[in-house]
Every structure is written in structure tokens, then in C-alpha cells.
A and B are shown apart, each in its own frame.
Chain A
Amino acid sequence: MEEVIATRNLCRAFGRRPVVQEVTLSVPEGSVFALIGPNGAGKTTTIKTLVNILEPSSGEANVLGTPSTKLGPSQFQKIGYVSENQELPEWMTVAELLAYCKPMYPTWDDAFCELLLRQLDLRPEQRIRSLSRGMKLKAALLSSLAYHPRLLILDEPFAGLDALIREELIRGMLELTGQDRWTVLMSSHEIDEVERLADWIGILNKGRLELCESVTSLQARFRQIDVRVSDNGDSPSSLPVSWLLAEKSAQRLQFVETQYHAQKTEESIRRIFPTLQQVLATPMSLKSIFLALARTYRLSA
């Protein structure tokens, strides 16, 4: 199947308060899709809708080809879900948790489970209540990976964790590499973590999906532009719509180009600033792209 997750105009409100508004996105099979956005943007609500913890207020969400409200054991056996708000049974040991989960999943793999235990540096006899927050997340991840899920959903998995635990979680997650089909949807406000892992980005802001694009495409069209001109004029009133956050000082123009094309961008600069002396186009990290867009959304709100 091509789309492991597909939503169409998904809406969810709490009372009169809309939290997810008209979200239409699709997660291609085999991709790592990062849903990013500030706190309160609606990421967790969207995810809870996808796994049927919440029902949509309107619109639809399909997971593994099935409407979210009709998800049953045969779909859930293929889905791994780890959430920062998850409650694991405190009184169980790691081994007891695994023994408890195993019968529910026909594809449970004991050997893989052993490997993950070592990879994640967990001991089976540890009681869950004695685990730190990061270790509880690792235990949750372990119990979600052991059955080779086709879809792994991670809701803010790295929030507030130290760098080492984050790295161990990522390594654990990447143990699925080598498995034939697996897809990841992860939500985060930690852009740095997502940068190397994601090949698709969805930006959620105030419940709306502002952007849904491949990382390759994003990084190809965004550039930080620095221009040296020799006039002292102020910036003209109308600049191309693809230029964000333009700032002009005496002999300098800076902006973020969102439709970068080496020749065309320089031409459009020259058209407005004929005294153009020098153009410097610098590629932007995912974080800088996100920050530029976030600032633009705030300014336009």
C-alpha cells in the first residue's frame, strides 16, 4: 500500500475549541514523517485520533487502509505506539511487561527482543516504577518494536530527555532497518533530532497544517540570501512573495528565499536592486527553515 496514513480535512474540537483544523496529510510507506510544531499546535491530538484514542469531530483518518474509528486487533498488531504520556504498569518488571505484551502480537520475535534489550541497555528484572523517565520510554519502545511493527508512531519521544538517552532511542528505532516494510510517524518540537531522521516534514501551527513536504524538496528551495547593494535606499514596498523576513539596511539586504533557483533568484534581485554587487546564498538547516516559517506565521497571525 502506498500511504500508510492518510487524513482528509481531519478536524477535532474540544467543546467549541478547535484543536485540529482541516488537516490533510499522507505518510508514504517506508518514510520517516516528522510532525513538528510548537506546543499546543495539535500534534498529540492528531496522533491520538490516528490510533483511535480520540474520534475525529469531522473529516477522516485512514491508517493501514482502515478508517481510524474502525481499527481493530489485526491493525493494532502492526502498529507500535510510544507516547511521552504513556502509562506503563509501574508494578511490573520489564520482563513481565514483555511477557504481558507478547501473546497479543503474532509477529513477536524473541530474538529481536533480546537484541533490543541489549541495544537499549535495559535489564529484564528492573521494576518499571524504579526506571527514570528516559528508561521508561525505552521500555515502551522495546515493547512496541519487538513485534516488528509496520507503522511506528512516536508522540514527542524525545521531550526532556538527555542526549545519550535520545541517541539510544534513535538507535533502537533504527533497528527496524533491514526489516522489509516499516514507516515512522513522529511528532516533535525538537527539530535537531528530526533533521537527520525525517524524510518528510509536516508543520502544524494552531491546529492547521501549514506545510507537508519532503525534506529534500524543502532544503532545495530554501536559502538564506545576503545581498550587497550600493544604494542607500529603503526596501521597495513590494518584494516577491517568495521572499520572507526581508530586512534592508544601508547597503545590505537579507531575506529568506523560499523558491530558490540560482539564476532566477539573482535575476529577481537585480530587477529590484540594479546596483546589486554580490549575492550569497546559504543552504539552511531544517531548524532555520522552521524558525523562519514560524516567525512568518506569527507575523501574519
Chain B
Amino acid sequence: MLPFRVEFKSGLPVYEQVVYAAKKAIVSGQLLPGDTFPSVRTLSQELKMNPNTAHKVVMTLVSEGLLEVKPGIGTLVGKAPSATRGQRGTLLNEEVERLVVEAKNLSLDLKDVLEAVRKHWNGLQKR
């Protein structure tokens, strides 16, 4: 059993979708610091995905400070990421651009976009 869900959409690379789902689970408090994160083996079997990709997912999350590898214990969800605010801002660039493009395609204006952002922000608040 996995502590988070991944709804696979065709087209987007599997790796990105799993990383995104894990980040979402951590940000929303579904996974708390100290929780055990599934092993590469479990990820690969539960999600029916290539073990190399599963490994890449874990390594990415580790390198971003979201997960910590504790030898002998396993991989745990880490404390809040230590990336600088600037670094985090850059990571978000592509997503923001995508959001703006999508919104413009749908002929939405900035007000609608901000409203949508606000709604999701509050919805994902840690409990």
C-alpha cells in the first residue's frame, strides 16, 4: 500500500507524475516528517513502474531535501526543505508558465487565475 495516490495521465512522463504526487502529499501533510517513504521496490511494484524510474524519483526527492535516507532504517520524509526561497521560486517557474498559458488558452483573466490559486492554496493547507 502506498501512502499517496498517483493518477497517471497519459503523455506526461511517469517520473514527473510520481515526483509531483509525492511532493503534493508532503506539502499537504498527507506525509509528515518522520514518516516512512515507500522503498524503490514498493514504489515500482505498487505503481507497476520501471524500478530505475522509481529509483530516480526517490533520488530526486532526496536531493531536494524532501526525503532523508537513514541507513538501517529506510527512507523517511525529511523536515522542511532547505532549498533557498530563490531556488524554490526557480523550480516553480515552469509550472507558473504552464498555468498562465493554460489560463490564456481558456480566455481567463488574471483575477480568475489568482482566485483559483487561492482556492487550491487553502485546500491543501496542512492540518
Contacts and interface: CB of A to CB of B under 8 A. Distances in A.
Contact of B8 (A31, A178, A196, A287): A196
A197 B11 contact: no
Interface string B1-33: 000000010111111000000000000000000
Contacts of B13: 215-216, 219, 283
A167 interface: yes
A174 B10 CA distance: 21
A126 interface: no
Contacts of A199: 50, 52-53
Interface string A47-83: 0000000000000000000000000000000000000
A145 to B, nearest CB: 14
A284 B11 contact: yes
B48 A196 contact: yes
A170 B46 CA distance: 10
A278 B105 contact: yes
Interface of chain B: mostly helix, strand, loop or mixed: helix
A196 B49 contact: yes
Contacts of A31: 52
Given A195-B14, A283-B12, A284-B11, A177 B53 contact: no
Interface stretch (B37-45, B76-84, B119-127): B37-45
Nearest to B13: A219
B47 interface: yes
Interface of B: 8, 10-15, 40-41, 44-45, 47-54, 101, 105
Interface of A: 30-32, 167, 170-171, 174-175, 177-178, 195-199, 215-216, 219, 278, 280, 282-285, 287-288
